[in-house]
Amino acid sequence: MSTLTSERAADTHGIAVQQVVKAFGAGSAAIRALDGVSVDIRQGEFFTLLGPSGCGKTTLLRLIAGFEMPTSGAILLDGADISALPPNRRPVNTVFQSYALFPHLSVAENIGFGLKMMGRSRTEVADRVARMLALIQLEPMASRRITQLSGGQQQRVALARALAPQPKVLLLDEPLSALDAKLRKEMQAELKRLQQETGITFVFVTHDQEEALTMSDRIAVMSAGHIQQVGTPREVYTRPVNRFVASFVGETNFISGEGGADGVRLGNGAVLPVSGAPNGPVTVAIRPEHLMLCASADQGAMAAVVERTVYSGTDTHCHLKLAGGGTLTARLPTLVSGEIGLSVGDKVHVRPTPGAVQLLAD
Amino acid sequence: MAEQRRHFSAADIPGFGLTAMAVFVALYLPIVTLVVYSFNASASVAEWGGLSLDWYRKAAGNAEVLNATANSLIIASLAALFSTTLATLAALGTTRRAPFRGMTAVYAAINQPLMVPEIVTAVALLVVTAALKQATGYTGLGYLVMAHTAFCIPFAYLPIRARLEGMDLSFETAAADLYASDWQVFRHVTLPLLLPGILAGAMLAFVTSLDDVVITEFIKSPGQDTLPTYMLGQLRRAMTPDVNAISSMLMGVTILMLFAFFLLTRKKA
């Protein structure tokens, strides 16, 4: 294990999390917040840890920051093991969920805090603070107290404070959760811009799958102390490896059937076209927006009855009851559903769009 | 919903106003009387003879009063300084770490002077200081400073601990994340945020020391009277109105300190 570590370490840039276990409590009462997590985060990427609360994503972030020590395993930064270093000796800064801005210091003093602690000269600190203030467009607020700022402004100061020392890695712990929807959208764009401008590795923790999909270069989907899947937003969304990922990232229909050479045969006789299905019972996932109304003779057509329709602007969600049992949700463009006057009780046929049927591992 | 029911109010109970008045009269009548009589021109404590500052002048010219005032201020300042320092360390030690077994017992132990009757502490200190005086030959104010420091600790400890408990650990975590060493975290984050609590604690300790009679009376050496013990001594002879003047001044200092304490603790919110 240790020889493997050093071999891999030599040419690794970015963060390597290797077989990390973090247990809280002792003995039989111990809870494994992280249960053997390994992941490589590349230098300069926007990497998101996505998962429900309690999945271990914040624990992993705190381990990278140095606020917690791993029970076992190692964390490497640019090939060097940093697992045992205290937070103040890691070139890693954090944007906290609560911001944790120092209430006794001004905006400028907050932003300059890290550099001051590093012992940088007064002029260098002032210079960098001025540039950070320009970056977050809060120059007129330099001498304000933290309590005089709005939530969005505090958010930007927290970001500037963490970026000012030019860390190798910026950790963001659900930093947008306290903002209202409109501001959150603006900050998402701003974060992405800052990440691209600075080229710093961002590790972003969120439980919001939409946020993860829109901002990330790559996403690690976590659940119950394990990483379920690592991939680009497109990979994670279109090719989820298991039922958890498929259901946590976006909405999904799960359909059980019998695998065979021609695809997956459902209980009602319809055959969904999918290659590589093993013989025997399998589960497939189909996104609601990948279902379309069709003629009964089409390949993969499934007969269904409309149970309920939910209008949501551009799209209308149609809850369908399949002939032969089971339910499906189809997200149809309102233009289409409106045109044909779809209403409760209608008998329809739906089929998946080509390539939309995903085989799941479990 | 047309008619909103009036909420219960204690002010509606019959006799509320009268009771409140009686309590305030009992609390403040003696003090007001004392202050008024400290400006009495007459030599009698009971007879009004017109306004005058004579007793203040007399008290200010009395060498014994001045000596007692100096003792009081020296002891209270040093006791406040030492007890606040110790209380700050104790408060950090009991809040800035993981909870441990017996923490409640430690709280109780720190607050011992609040629970043990003062007279018992006084007798105990008398025994110890007598032995120490015999053994070392030192008879200075040090004993009083030490004793006052000890019983002032809980008064300094309580506001400091309250402040620390209300202080989010995330500030210290953030400072450590921003390259601050343990000492820098304390110096640049914990201490400035804690300062109102520390000042409040010091102020309470100062006032507590300034007002102490029992313990001081037991362990003072000759010539070590503080203002309260000097006044007690005066009472045994003939009561003169300069005691009124001294009391009024002492009360003025105490009120000023308590006012400052409230201002400082209010700022927290």
Nearest to B170 among A87, A100, A118 (CB): A100
Q: Is B40 helix (H, G, I), strand (E, B) or coil?
A: strand
- Classify residue A252 by burial, with Cβ atoms within 10 Å: 0-12, 13-18, 19+: buried
Query: Mutate which of A64, A68, A88, A89 to disrupt the B interface (most B C-beta within 10 Å)?
Result: A88
DSSP letter at A120?
-
ipTM of the complex, rounded to two decimals:
0.78
Q: How far is A94 from chain B (nearest CA, A)?
A: 7
Q: Which of A151, A150, A186, A176 is nearest to A48 (CA)?
A: A176
pLDDT of residue A187: 85
Residue B63 tokens, joined: 């060498």
Which residues in chain A are contacts of B173 at CB distance < 8 A?
67, 87, 96, 100
**Residue A246 near residue A252 (C-beta atoms within 8 A):** yes
Chain A residues with CB inside 8 Å of B178's CB? 88, 93, 113-114, 117, 161-162, 165
What pLDDT score was predicted for residue A206?
92
| The pLDDT of residue B164 is above 60 | yes
Exposed e or buried b for every residue in B231-256, given b needs 16+ CB within 10 A? bbebeeeeebbbbbbbbbbbeebeee
The per-residue pLDDT for range B109-137, each reduced to its tens digit, is 888 888 889 899 899 989 999 999 889 88
Tell whether the model's pLDDT for residue A3 goes beyond 70.
no
Q: Which of A165-174, B31-40, B96-105 has maximum average pLDDT?
A: A165-174
B191 touching A (Cβ < 8 Å): no
Q: Torsion-angle region of residue A324: left (phi > 0), alpha (psi -120 to 50) or beta? A: left
Region B176-180: what's the mean pLDDT?
93
- C-alpha A176/C-alpha A187 separation (Å) is 7
What average pLDDT does range A4-20 have in this prediction? 67
Q: Which residues pair with B23 in a beta bridge?
A: none
**CB-side neighbour CA atoms (13 Å) of A196:** 9
Cα(A211)–Cα(A83) distance, integer angstroms: 29
Residue type, A44: G
| Domains assigned to chain B | 14-52 (no CATH), 62-265 (1.10.3720.10)
Instruction: Read off the tokens for B87.
Output: 């209380």
Task: Indicate whether B180 pLDDT > 70.
Answer: yes
**Looking at beta carbons, which residues of chain B come within 8 Å of A66?**
177
Q: Quick check: A219 and A213 in contact, CB under 8 A?
A: yes
Task: Please indicate whether, in this complex, the C-beta atoms of A117 and B173 are within 8 angstroms of each other.
Answer: no
Residues 76-135 of B with CB under 8 A from A: none
Does the distance separating the beta carbons of B171 and A100 come in below 8 Å? yes
Q: Is the CB of A100 less than 8 angstroms away from the CB of B176?
A: no
Q: Whole-angstrom Cα distance, residue A220 to residue A41?
A: 10
CB A285 within 8 A of CB A240: yes
A259 pLDDT more than 70: yes
Cα-based angle B161, B162, B167 (whole degrees, multiple of 5): 95
In terms of pLDDT, which residue wins out, A214 or A8? Answer: A214
- Judge whether B180 is closer than 8 Å to chain A, CB to CB: yes
Name which of A30-39, A264-273, A282-291, B164-173 the model is least confident about. A264-273
Nearest CA in chain A to B171: A100
pLDDT tens digit string along A313-332? 888 888 888 887 788 898 88
DSSP A292-330: EE--TTSTT-EEEEEEEEEEETTEEEEEEEETTS-EEEE
For the cut 70, the answer to whether the pLDDT of residue A337 exceeds it is: no
Chain B residue closest to A94 (CA)? Answer: B177
Query: CA separation (Å) from B74 to A151, B225, B226, B250, B254?
Result: 49, 12, 10, 15, 16
Which chain A residue shows the shortest CA-CA distance from B195? A104
Mean pLDDT of A151-160: 90
Whether residue A88 and residue B179 make contact (CB cut-off 8 A), yes or no, is yes
Smallest CA–CA distance, residue A253 to chain B, in Å, is: 42
The pLDDT score that the predictor gives to residue A176 is 85
The predicted-structure confidence for A228-246, as pLDDT tens digits, reads as follows 999 999 999 988 888 899 8
Q: Looking at the complex, does the CB of residue B189 fall below 8 Å from at least one CB of chain A?
A: yes
CB contact under 8 A, A117 and B171: no
Minimal C-alpha gap between B178 and chain A (Å): 4
pLDDT in the model for residue B6? 65
User: Is A98 in Cβ contact with B177 (below 8 Å)?
Assistant: no
How many Å apart are CA A209 and CA A221, to the nearest integer?
A: 9
* pLDDT of the residue at B76: 94
Task: Tell the residue number behind the tokens 């209608």, with chain if given.
Answer: A346
B71 confidence band (pLDDT: 50, 70, 90)? very high
Count of CB pairs separated by less than 8 Å, A with B: 60
Residue of B nearest to A158 (CA): B174
- How far is B269 from B257, CA to CA, in rounded Å? 20
> What pLDDT is recorded for position B268?
46
Nearest to B79 by CA among B155, B146, B158, B160: B146
Residue from A48, A54, A23 nearest A36 by CA: A23
In terms of DSSP bridges, do strands A201-206 and A315-322 run parallel, antiparallel, or are they unpaired? unpaired
Return the closest-CA partner of residue A17 out of A224, A240, A230.
Answer: A230
pLDDT on residue A270: 78
User: Residue B247 — very low, low, confident or very high, per pLDDT cuts 50/70/90?
Assistant: confident
pTM above 0.90, yes or no: no
CA distance A161 to A159: 5
Spatial distance between the Cα atoms of B123 and B150, rounded to a whole number of angstroms? 14
**Residue A169, min C-alpha distance to chain B (Å):** 12
Helix, coil or strand: residue B212: coil
pLDDT band of residue A362 (cuts 50, 70, 90) is low
Q: What is the DSSP letter of B241?
A: T
Average pLDDT, chain A: 86
The predicted-structure confidence for A20-43, as pLDDT tens digits, reads as follows 999 888 777 788 888 889 999 999
Residue A11 has pLDDT above 80, yes or no: no
Q: How far is B180 from chain A (nearest CA, A)?
A: 5
Q: Which residues contact A229 (CB under 8 A, 6 or more apart)?
A: A220, A221, A235, A236, A240, A241, A242, A245
CA proximity to A79, closest of A166, A18, A22: A18
Contacts of A104 in chain B (CB under 8 A): 192-193
Chain A residues with a Cβ under 8 Å from any Cβ in chain B: 65-67, 86-89, 92-94, 96, 98, 100-104, 113-114, 117-118, 161-162, 165
Q: Which residues of A touch B170 (CB under 8 A)?
A: 96, 98, 100
Q: Which of B174, B175, B178 is opposite residue A165, by nearest beta carbon?
A: B178
Residue B45: which pLDDT band, with cuts at 50, 70 and 90? Answer: low
Residue A277 has what DSSP assignment? P
Selection from A256, A286, A265, A262 nearest residue A276 by Cα: A262
Q: What is the mean pLDDT of residues A178-197?
A: 85
Hey, are the CB atoms on A86 and B174 less than 8 Å from each other?
Answer: no
Kindly list the distances between the CA atom of residue B70 and the CA atoms of A147, A234, B100, B207, in Å, as whole numbers in the listed order: 44, 80, 44, 15
Which residues in chain A touch residue B163, judged by CB atoms under 8 angstroms apart? none
pLDDT at residue number A4: 44
B11 has pLDDT over 90? no
**Distances in whole angstroms, Cα of residue A31 to Cα of each of A26, A68, A76, A111, A225:** 8, 15, 24, 37, 10
Q: How far is B109 from chain A (nearest CA, A)?
A: 29
pLDDT exceeds 50 at position A303: yes
Q: What pLDDT, on the 0 to 100 scale, is given for residue A271? A: 81
Neighbours of A196 (CB within 10 A): 12
Identify the CA nearest to A55 among candidates A207, A176, A217: A207
Contacts 24+ apart (CB under 8 A), A240-247: A240/A285, A240/A358, A240/A360, A241/A360, A241/A361, A242/A360, A242/A361, A242/A362, A243/A283, A243/A285, A243/A360, A243/A362, A245/A221, A246/A285, A246/A358, A246/A360
Name the pLDDT band for A9 (thresholds 50, 70, 90).
Answer: very low
| CA–CA gap between residue A41 and residue A202 (Å, rounded) | 9
CB pair distance less than 8 Å for A88 and B171: no
The chain A residue lying nearest B184, using CA atoms, is A117
Q: Phi and psi of A137, rounded to 5°?
A: 55, 45
pLDDT value of residue B267:
55
Listed range (B58-62, B87-91, B141-145, B240-244) with the worst mean pLDDT: B240-244
Three-class SS state of A175 = coil
Among chain B residues, the shortest Cα distance to A164 is held by B178
In the predicted structure, residue A47 carries a pLDDT above the cut 70: yes
A10 has a pLDDT exceeding 60:
no
The confidence score (pLDDT) of residue A241 equals 87
Are the beta carbons of B231 and B237 closer than 8 angstroms? Answer: no
Cα A51 to Cα A224: distance, rounded to the nearest angstrom: 9
CA distance B187 to chain A (A): 11
Residues of chain A contacting residue B192, judged by C-beta atoms under 8 Å apart? 104
Query: Between chains, do B180 and A93 touch, taking CB under 8 Å as contact?
Result: no
